[in-house]
Amino acid sequence: MAKVTIRNGDWILVGDGVKAMLFRNAGDPEHLDLRVLDLFEHETPPTREQGTDRPGRVHQSAATARSAVEETDWHRFEKERFAKDLADTLYRKAHAGAFERLVVVAPPPTLGDLRKAFHQEVSARIVAEIDKTLTNHPVGKIESLLAMD
C-alpha cells in the first residue's frame, strides 16, 4: 500500500459499525494534529435482543414441503444504517463545501457499507481508504498510526 499523505485541512473519518470520529488535520503530513470535529455513536443491540425468537416458515402451496425463512440479522442491519447516516452527514458537509479531501479509516465490513452509502460527491473527495479498526484508540495513538501508513 502506498503511503497516505494527510495534508493540513484534510478530514479523517475513523469509524466502525457503531462508533465514528470525524477529525480535521491541523498539522502537516509529517506531524499530524487531529482535531475532533464530530463524534457519532449508534446503538446496535445483538440480534437476539432486536428480532424474533425463531425464523419463519414457508409452506409450499402445491406440496407438503416446508422451508425455513432466513432470519434477519438486525445487528448487521443497524451497522448498515449507521454507515448510511454517516454517509448522509458527509454528503451534507461536502455539498456545503466544508472539506475537499477525506481519508476513511474503518474495518473492511464498515468500509464496504460506507462505499455503498457514499454519494458521488463524497466519493470524489476520498483520497485514501485504510482498512484498520482505530475507534478505540486515543487521538495521539491514531495520529501516530496514521503517520506510519
pLDDT of residue 20: 97
Please give the model's pTM, rounded to 2 decimal places.
0.80
pLDDT of residue 99: 98
Q: Round to whole Å and give the CA distance between 86 and 39.
A: 10
Per residue in 26-48, pLDDT tens?
999 999 999 999 999 977 656 55
pLDDT of residue 48: 58
pLDDT of residue 76: 73
Residue spans of the chain under pLDDT 70: 1-2, 44-75
Q: What is the CATH number of domain 11-46+73-148?
A: 3.30.420.60
Q: Round to whole Å and give the CA distance between 52 and 49.
A: 8
Q: Specify the DSSP class assigned to residue 135.
A: T
